[in-house]
Amino acid sequence: QAGQSQREILDFMVERYGDFVLYRPPFKARTLLLWLGPFLLLVIAAMVMAVNVRRRRRAAMAQDWSEAQQRRARALLDESASPPQS
């Protein structure tokens, strides 16, 4: 705006659009999300990752072989490792 100081322009913008137009809005109830939002997103992302890792570990544990399956696999491997008899 022609003829207005930087402060007057900022005051006008804040009055019209709120504190959200400032690069460093004041820390108050209306701007709480601006200040804490990035941290909340990081916490949520960390929680999602932790849940995902736990699910994968549980799935891997559920796929463990039983004793009978392990014995059968060892027997098959031993058979294939022994030299052919003629």
Predicted confidence at residue 34, as pLDDT, reads 81
Report DSSP letters for 23-66, one per residue: SS---SGGGHHHHHHHHHHHHHHHHHHHHHHHHHHHHHHHTPPP
Size (the chain), residues? 86
The average pLDDT across 31-35 equals 83
Give percent of the chain with pLDDT exceeding 70. 93
Taking the C-alpha atoms of residue 25 and residue 31, their distance in angstroms, rounded to an integer, is 7
Segment 3-25 shows an average pLDDT of: 82
Rounded to whole angstroms, how far apart are CA atoms 53 and 45? 12
